Amino acid sequence: MVTKTLKKFSLLPVITVKTEDTVIEVAKKLCDFQERRIFVLDNKKFPVGIISIVDINDRVVARGKDPKKTKAKEIMSYPLTLIADINDSSQEILKKMIQKDNYYVPVVEKGILKGLITYATLMKSSKK
């Protein structure tokens, strides 16, 4: 059996913000792209955290913080439990996704975020 690396897959585009972006900027991007979560990148474009609409509600709104002053790094969930490299085996990543109960994983190439791979995409490929 030939092992496929993630290079062989079409990655989904990923919506991102920087660690220093304000919660207002985060919320606007989530709204503009109609997403429920957004990845946070460091200055080298590596994914260091994730913010969901629940994080904004629980960590900003419910606590009365100012979304114009609060930074993404202050409310992001981190560390990310799984980050894949473009050269990783699709079967290994699928196993890790199952173990960690992840439905999508950010994929990096040379430390830079390239996109997302989903559980569904990997499952479809494993059936072929």
State the average pLDDT over residues 97-107: 95
CATH numeric code, 6-126: 3.10.580.10
- For the stretch 68-79, pLDDT in tens is 999 999 999 999
Residue 110 confidence (pLDDT): 97
Q: pLDDT-based confidence at 2, cuts 50/70/90?
A: low
What is the domain partition of the chain in residue ranges?
6-126
Residue 3 confidence (pLDDT): 72
pLDDT digits (tens, 9 = 90+) for 4-46: 999 999 999 999 999 999 999 999 999 999 999 999 999 999 9
Q: For the whole model, what pTM was predicted? A: 0.91
Q: How far apart are the first and last CA of the chain?
A: 11
